[in-house]
Amino acid sequence: MQATPFPTASVADSLTLFHQRAPLVHCLTNDVVQSFTANVLLALGASPAMVVDPGEAAQFSALADALLINIGTLEVSRADAMLAAIASATQAGTPWVLDPVAVGGLTYRTAFAQQLLTMKPAAIRGNASEILALAGEGSAGRGVDSGNDSWFALPAARSLAQRWSTCVAVTGEVDYVTDGQRDWAVSGGDPLMTRVVGTGCALSAVVAGFCALEGDRLAHVAAACAVMSRCGARAAQQASGPGSFIPGFLDALYAERGGVTV
């Protein structure tokens, strides 16, 4: 069975909605990627905000258009803020997205991610080893790098999506997006993206922003992956390495605001 390539025209449709909405994305994310995540959202015309006190996080999630929960540098106080923010987002009808960074190998975050699953994320974005671990199928991963191919993890993504009524994006050389019934494949990107910290984490924040849009959520999640992939490919073409990739990538995302397409 093969996943259908997500059509470029649909990317443009979602992106137009995204630029119109300019979503305010509340990011509870890991400390390593906060700045890059904010810059990616800003380049795309969205507004990032990182509010981490539990009380304020709850208050802010109700005002935001979407919420990102990234468990990369999990600590007890941050976990409290995440739970408070999710509860508040849920009450306000604000969609939230889970990035289960490095689940599988580490006990605390794996249990915490399992708990989060029951709180109805609008979407989940992870690499193959994270999605396999989240689906309870084990993984060879020893950290944030994925030793498994995203295609191999697609069945786990599908069962995860069905069980929790959510969209799952399992990303890698090809990204697969599924709601358990339908699948989309998104190609593109560049290996250089794996040599820059936070490209996956920033994608999850962008996915959160796209979940704020009206319409077909699965298509919007696929569009988020597609925008990041093609901007990554463009930036890699111009770059001499991961250092020059970073400004080029942000510039490419910014150029998307002008409706520039390949």
Q: Which residues bind a copy of itself (CB under 8 A)?
A: 24, 30-36, 38-39, 42-43, 47-53, 55-56, 59-60, 63, 72-77, 102, 105-109, 142-145, 194-198, 239-244, 246-255
Residues 6+ away with beta carbon under 8 Å from 240? none
- Nearest distance from C-beta of residue 250 to a copy of itself, angstroms: 3
The two structure tokens encoding residue 41: 């959202």
Name which of 48 and 172 has its Cβ closer to a copy of itself: 48
- Give the Cα separation of 94 and 232 in Å (integer): 29
Dihedral in degrees, nearest 10, Cα atoms 99, 179, 1, 227? -60
- Nearest distance from C-beta of residue 219 to a copy of itself, angstroms: 26
Name which of 98 and 167 has its Cβ closer to a copy of itself: 98
- Give the Cα separation of 102 and 145 in Å (integer): 8
Name which of 42 and 119 has its Cβ closer to a copy of itself: 42
- Give the Cα separation of 63 and 237 in Å (integer): 39
- Give the Cα separation of 84 and 44 in Å (integer): 28
Annotation-wise, does 50 bind a ligand? yes
- Give the Cα separation of 204 and 188 in Å (integer): 17
- Nearest distance from C-beta of residue 3 to a copy of itself, angstroms: 29
Name which of 143 and 215 has its Cβ closer to a copy of itself: 143
The two structure tokens encoding residue 199: 């490209």
- Nearest distance from C-beta of residue 187 to a copy of itself, angstroms: 23
Helix axes 107-117, 76-92, angle to 10 degrees: 10
- Nearest distance from C-beta of residue 110 to a copy of itself, angstroms: 10
CA distances from 161 to 9, 65, 182, 212, 258 (A): 25, 22, 10, 18, 34
Annotation-wise, does 199 bind a ligand? no
Name which of 180 and 232 has its Cβ closer to a copy of itself: 232
Name which of 210 and 249 has its Cβ closer to a copy of itself: 249
- Nearest distance from C-beta of residue 122 to a copy of itself, angstroms: 21
Pairing of strands 167-171, 175-178: antiparallel
Give the residue ranges of the annotated binding site for ATP: 125, 171
Binding residues: 50, 125, 171, 198
Binding residues for substrate: 50, 198
